[in-house]
């Protein structure tokens, strides 16, 4: 099974990409900011997994 990681998933492009991945049976890991008001837009689907994090806190 193919897998992808999507950041910016709650925006228009991210939501379209999630839908396309579901349609093509691709497993999705969504990176979403903790407390995002738009997180509820992410589809509840067995192939979609959400990880709450803040990319600004990532280090090299």
The pTM of the full predicted model, rounded to 2 decimals, is 0.85
Token couple for 5:
């990681």
Higher pLDDT, 24 or 58: 24
d(CA 59, CA 9): 21
pLDDT bracket for residue 58 (50, 70, 90):
confident
Q: For residue 48, how far is the Cα from the chain centroid?
A: 7
8 Cβ neighbours under 8 A, 6+ residues apart: 14
DSSP string, 37-57: TTGGGS---TTEEEEE--GGG
């Amino acid at each position: 099974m193919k897998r992808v990681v999507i950041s910016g998933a709650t925006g228009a492009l991210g939501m379209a990409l999630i839908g396309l991945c579901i349609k093509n049976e691709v497993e999705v890991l969504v990176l979403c900011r903790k407390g995002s008001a738009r997180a509820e837009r992410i589809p509840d689907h067995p192939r979609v997994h959400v990880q709450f994090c803040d990319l600004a806190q990532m280090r090299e």
